[in-house]
Structure 1
């Protein structure tokens, strides 16, 4: 049986002296990552924003969009946590869809950079806008101070988690 915060029975809550319940935060993040990483959920987000891409290509589109529209294939592979050959196939699908183009790197002519086309930028903006709408809808009934706190603290938490190696 779970307690009020969703912490499974028999699992230590992790409440510290400051009253912060770390276990509830971990469970909430795990539930979110589990849901958002499913193929069905990613496809429903893409379909709702009229973007016809497979979930892997959607993730690559997000990476390129977040990087200002241009990155190296190695940067995309590292962000997606995929091999270079797998990433190359995904980038090929983006290119075939007219969303991305390859060009010789301006820094090193032996390497390539990939960048979003105007259509790719438009599709990224649609997906990003759909994500913002999802968050706005989910938090519409929240107190504005709570929304501000979420918008300040969640990115800070994610940055800290990403930069902290597992123990």
Structure 2
């Protein structure tokens, strides 16, 4: 019995009137996300980075262009305050740089420095290897099914509120 099944069993005892079966999926997704984030933080710590900072760097790298902080917020789903804090630290480390636009100095654009590009290009393949390791217990068909189900679930979660 995994932790999530224990939680469901406990709720069944305490509140048998509730259908807590969604916890079997949502609870597991949340625990997996927390475990993966913690593992990423552990793996990135020797590099002086957190998973949130690495997400910011990879967002810039795959965009291939400068981004406004609000775009980074949208892509990473982190708060504006968290993005500002991360940008401050990454700029201090020489991994990103902020510049104003010529037309409007209030508009700030963020780019990776050469050191930032090197950092992402060095660390991202390692992250992919770790991610592949997490999926190693599944065959290709199972991965395809899981991918499809998670995509459907994500569309529901990210759907705009009516």
TM-score, length basis structure 2 = 0.70
Is the deviation greater in 102-111 or in 91-100?
102-111
Per the alignment, residue 93 of structure 1 pairs with 89
Q: Deviations over 1:79-133 (max 9, x none)?
A: 31132xx533321221222211122337745411001123212322344323321
Which of 19, 28, 37 pairs up with 1:12?
19
Pairs aligned (count): 152
Equivalent runs, 1:1-167 vs 2, <5 Å: 6=5, 8-9=8-9, 10=12, 12=19, 14=21, 22-38=22-38, 41-47=39-45, 51-68=47-64, 70-78=66-74, 79-83=77-81, 86-105=82-101, 108-165=104-161
Q: 1:77 to 1:134 in 2, by over 3 A?
A: same
Report the aligned-residue RMSD: 3.3
Instruction: Give the 3-state SS of the residue equivalent to 1:70 in structure 2.
Output: coil
Alpha-carbon distance change, 146 to 55 in structure 1, aligned in 2, over 3 angstroms: closer
Match of 2:80, SS? coil
Q: Distance in 1 between matches of 2:152 and 2:125?
A: 21
- Tell me, in whole angstroms, the C-alpha distance in 2 between the residues paired with 1:32 and 1:107: 45
2:15 alignment partner in structure 1: none
Higher relative helix content? 2
Q: Secondary structure at the match of 1:12?
A: coil
Alpha-carbon distance, 1:152 to partner: 3.9
Give SS of 2:47's match: coil
TM, length-normalised to structure 1:
0.69
Q: Aligned equivalents of 2:109 and 2:80: distance in 1?
A: 17
Where structure 2 has 5 or more consecutive residues not aligned to the other structure, the ranges are: 13-17
Structure 1 residue 26: Cα displacement: 0.6
| 1:33-58 deviation per Cα after TM superposition (whole angstroms, max 9, x unaligned) | 333455xx4431214xx522245433
